[in-house]
Amino acid sequence: MSEVQAKAQAAKQTTTALNMLTSAQKNKALSLMAEELLIRKDELIQANRTDIEKGAASGLSTAFIDRLTLTDKRIEAMAEGLRQIIELEDPIGDLLEEIERPNGLLIRKVRVPLGLIGIIYESRPNVTVDAAGLCLKSGNAVLLRGGSDALASNLKLVELLRDALSKSDVPVEALQLIESPDRASVNEMLTLKGVLDVLIPRGGHSLIRNVVENATVPVIETGAGICHTYLDDGADPKKALDLAYNAKVQRPSVCNSMETLLVNREFAVSHLRPIAEKFLSAGVELRCCPETLDLIGDLTNTKEVTELDFATEYNDYILNVRIVNSLDEAIAHINRYGTQHSECIVTENADRARKFMLEVDAAAVYQNASTRFTDGFEFGFGAEIGISTQKLHARGPMGLPALTTTKYCVYGNGQIRE
């Protein structure tokens, strides 16, 4: 039996026991996990250093190394994420609907765990902790397959999290990590129908497409983040500058960072240059439409944008800039090139904002706020399992309820169907 099959079967066998745990038992396990992260953070940082050195030697980009890096602050944030999950209401057993039929049958619709969740992800070790915490709180077992670039970090994380579980009522085998860096292990997970109840991919376009197109297991699709900010001619100039800058520069390596800035022509003539200068001072390369180049092309680190650029998720200090004639043109561009993740309009005009909110097809749509807020922490969900860009089951940041399904419990007193 392969590693993937053995670990999936071991995790699957814990699902009945997990479903019987109380909220207090699950919360105690999460608390122990958070404590273990902090007690052993020096071990974590040392293991992470191995991944960073290997990544730097292989030529990984600065943005990629940033996603990979663990610091004291990020480890503390992971522990805090687990504590936030403890504070969240346990969805398991929630009564969603109750129906009493004329024949006396009582039908109750309740939340139950999905079962065994497989998560395939890249580079970011914090996903290991977020996924474990959310899955266990919602009564699910979890089979993790992280990126090979973060293998040492993930091995250490799962080691200490399982050590914490051994002191709790949660079965240790409910948390599993595939250690093989061979891509064949990913493809094997895709075909574990009947063992895995659902797969969730987190990562770049090629990973997600491979999972969606080849899995026989049901998939919750998380999407790449080609996110836009549109500066309307009714925008406040200071808000426009601050929001656009934050959406790109605050952390460009993540999926909710901005990749394309759309600017109304009238606004651009008066206000684009200082915005461009601020981006350039932060080391952002600007890829510009011809009209934008006419306005700011004398500045350094600018070049002409291509069609392919508009369809690219950079996760880096690169930004497309396009001048548009109208709100309609901005919406058309977003609906063509966007990935239905997060989109923003900066405007003081309520009618235009409402039109943008209604017509832009995305999981999260903003007026006058950075797209960087599309995040489980920021939405008050605790940690998140990912940002779903599909339209079935779950959409947007996926917290605890997204990791459940429903069951109908039907109570009778001898009724038979005529």
Is residue 270 domain-resident?
Answer: yes
**What's the pLDDT tens digit per position in 299-337?**
889 999 999 999 999 989 999 999 999 999 999 999 999
Is residue 276 domain-resident?
Answer: yes
Report how far apart, in Å, the C-alpha atoms of 163 and of each of 23, 33, 35, 159, 293 are: 20, 8, 11, 6, 57
- 84 and 170 share a domain? yes
**What's the pLDDT tens digit per position in 87-146?**
999 999 999 999 999 999 999 999 999 999 999 998 789 999 999 999 999 999 999 999
Residue 231: give the domain boundaries: 227-373
Copy the structure tokens of residue 156. 């250490």
- 199 and 284 share a domain? no
Q: How far apart are CA 220 and CA 226, in angstroms?
A: 19
User: What residue type is 252 in one-letter code?
Assistant: P
DSSP state of 386: -
Over residues 159-178, mean pLDDT: 98
- 292 and 338 share a domain? yes
Residue 382: pLDDT band by 50, 70, 90 thresholds? low
- 218 and 234 share a domain? no
DSSP state of 90: P
Instruction: Using DSSP, state whether 320 is helix, strand or coil.
Output: strand
Q: What is the CATH number of the domain that holds 45?
A: 3.40.605.10
Beta carbons within 8 Å of 103's beta carbon, 6+ residues apart:
415
Q: How far apart are CA 341 and CA 363, in angstroms?
A: 5
Number of domains in the chain: 2
Is residue 388 domain-resident?
Answer: no
Q: How far apart are CA 55 and CA 149, in angstroms?
A: 7
Is residue 248 domain-resident?
Answer: yes
Question: What Rg value do the Cα atoms of the chain yield, rounded?
Answer: 23
For residue 182, which of 216, 148, 144, 142 has the smallest C-alpha distance? 148
Beta 116-121 vs 198-202: how paired, if at all? parallel
Q: What is the reported pLDDT for 352?
A: 97
Copy the structure tokens of residue 15. 């699902």
Angle at 370 between CA 228 and CA 290, to 5 degrees: 35
Is residue 387 domain-resident?
Answer: no
Beta carbons within 8 Å of 55's beta carbon, 6+ residues apart:
64, 65, 68, 149
Is residue 46 domain-resident?
Answer: yes
Q: How far apart are CA 242 and CA 238, in angstroms?
A: 6
- 67 and 197 share a domain? yes
Note the pTM of the prediction, 2 decimals: 0.81
Is residue 138 domain-resident?
Answer: yes
- 80 and 191 share a domain? yes
**Is the separation of the CB atoms in 153 and 68 below 8 Å?**
yes
- 141 and 247 share a domain? no
- 190 and 91 share a domain? yes
- 286 and 343 share a domain? yes
Task: Supply the mean pLDDT for the chain.
Answer: 94
Beta 396-397 vs 387-388: how paired, if at all? antiparallel
Q: What is the CATH number of the domain that holds 324?
A: 3.40.309.10
Is residue 34 domain-resident?
Answer: yes
